[in-house]
Amino acid sequence: MAKQGIVYLVGAGPGDPGLITVKGLECIRRAEVLVYDRLASKRLLSYAPKGCEMIYVGKLPDRHTLRQEEINQLLVDKGLEGKVVTRLKGGDPFVYGRGGEEGELLFENNVPFEVVPGITSAISVPAYAGIPVTHRDFTSSFAVITGHEDPNKDESSIAWDKISTGIGTLVFLMGVGNLPFIVQKLVENGRDATTPVALIRWGTRPEQKVLTGTLQDIVKKVQDANFQSPAIIIVGEVVKLRDTLSWFEKKPFFGKRVVVTRSREQASDLSRRIEDLGGEAWEFPAIEITEPEDYTAMDEAIAKIDSYHWLIFTSVNGVDSFFKRLRHHNRDIRDLKGAKLCAIGPKTKERLEEMCLHVEYVPSEYRAEAVLEGLKGKLQSGQRVLMPRADIARKILPETLTQMGAQVDDVVAYRTVRGSGEASILREMLDEKMIHYVTFTSSSTVKNFVEMLGADNIHELLKGVKLVSIGPVTSQSARDLGLTIDIEAPSYTIDGLVEALASK
């Protein structure tokens, strides 16, 4: 029996990728074909599964990649092939998204479909600009109106005589080109020329721009500022609240898009911190954490775990990987009695303490050299040391500990391999100068970032982009590859990295 396809008509929201719905994100993650338009955040594309067919059908005011009829047929064709198709549309599919037309043709061709509503820009974009569409002191009504209607039509489908004075807040979608006509019709039909107006371009994104005025001067202001689409127009007294309620643009990192190169599992903490500051985090996993190819050395160490005097953990990954293998052998923390623990970095210490383990020593500086200095006098010659680490970890720590007289077992607890970041999308964004910062949290993130980008013109692509490093070892790795680090964290932690970003 042939596999039956399905098409999901998904609203991607207004632009901020965090405003996608839970169900919408799930549809992206299960897609075999992703059909997306210009207003859908490119960051959302990174959640599509590997091998997903990506089809861009974006439209500009002056040109279309595909006509709407061709998009409709494309969805039918892919659905009839038995594919899971996610049609990702800016805003909401049924608010000037032409989702109704797409659904009609799917129905006519017996292709199953579902509609996943999105957060419409008509409400969310004004909210990000500090403009509520309703407010008890100003208005209890609002209308969403197309801004695309041809001014030369013999008969308008918009009841200008009714909306001009009968509704408090008017939201025109995609009407920058028609602004003079919109203003003229509103004033002709009784709207006071002193009524406040706001235009919001690329609302909810780092590129958000807001221009305010009144019906009598907004056209000239738009012309003088060369204010371009895509933008929405809000007409009404609620625009006055912007001075009080504007919040997005006041955040310290507003307007900045930051690439996070950590593994996908670990990126969320840094991404959240960036977005709390008002920036947009673009996750480009340059590394992934996987199991060792051979567990022999780790298993031998666990078999004689009670012989070690010290366990040195250099990362949270090392902690997690070690205890996962410990549990695999039906052993637990009671088998660590007598061993002292050293943790490099507060997060590593925190993870050990979550297991009710006491950490004997945390160096003040989170580098191998500082660990060695701090262990002098604590670690005695002849003592046995276990270090569960990455396969590519620097050798200076075990080598120097050996020189100090310790018996060191440096075992591979996990491997760091090249990540799954979508290089083609990132290259396009760098080329369009949409990226402002790239963060590196380890030497391997730098190395893999350069290799994955695979661009002969990498220095041109990174022109104007500030490169941010978590510490001197990572910075040196970047310099070895010909990159210039602009910002280095004062303390070699994620907190330090965020602090460095926030201060710039």
Structural domain including 181 reads 123-250
Q: Is residue 213 part of a domain?
A: yes
Residues 426 and 277 occupy one common structural domain: yes
Cα 445-450-453 angle, rounded to 5 deg: 115
pLDDT at position 3, please? 79
**Which of 147, 94, 100 minimizes the C-alpha distance to 118?**
94
CATH assignment at residue 36 = 3.40.1010.10
Helix (H, G, I), strand (E, B) or coil at 375: helix
Residues 270 and 307 occupy one common structural domain: no
Helix (H, G, I), strand (E, B) or coil at 489: coil
Residues 297 and 325 occupy one common structural domain: yes
What residues of the chain score a pLDDT lower than 70?
Answer: 1-2, 59-65, 366-369, 504
Residues 225 and 276 occupy one common structural domain: no
Residues 268 and 196 occupy one common structural domain: no
Residues 6+ apart with CB under 8 A from 231: 174, 176, 199, 200, 201, 202, 203
Residues 70 and 107 occupy one common structural domain: yes
d(CA 438, CA 309): 40
pLDDT at position 421, please? 83
pLDDT at position 59, please? 63
pLDDT at position 170, please? 98
pLDDT at position 264, please? 77
Q: Is residue 205 part of a domain?
A: yes
Residues 140 and 221 occupy one common structural domain: yes
C-beta separation of 477 from 449 below 8 A: no
Residues 113 and 33 occupy one common structural domain: yes
Residues annotated as catalytic are 37, 59, 174
CATH assignment at residue 385 = 3.40.50.10090
Count up the domains in the chain and report the number.
4
pLDDT at position 161, please? 94
Q: Is residue 370 part of a domain?
A: yes
Q: Is residue 1 part of a domain?
A: no
Q: Is residue 47 part of a domain?
A: yes
Domain boundary (118, 140, 166) is at 118
Q: Is residue 350 part of a domain?
A: yes
Cα 430-434-435 angle, rounded to 5 deg: 70
Domain boundary (373, 397, 417) is at 417
Residues 64 and 88 occupy one common structural domain: yes
CATH assignment at residue 139 = 3.30.950.10
Q: Is residue 232 part of a domain?
A: yes
Residues 14 and 98 occupy one common structural domain: yes
Helix (H, G, I), strand (E, B) or coil at 138: coil
Query: Two tokens at 376?
Result: 């002098």
Residues 299 and 236 occupy one common structural domain: no
Domain boundary (118, 138, 159) is at 118
pLDDT at position 152, please? 74
**Which of 335, 298, 303 minimizes the C-alpha distance to 414?**
298
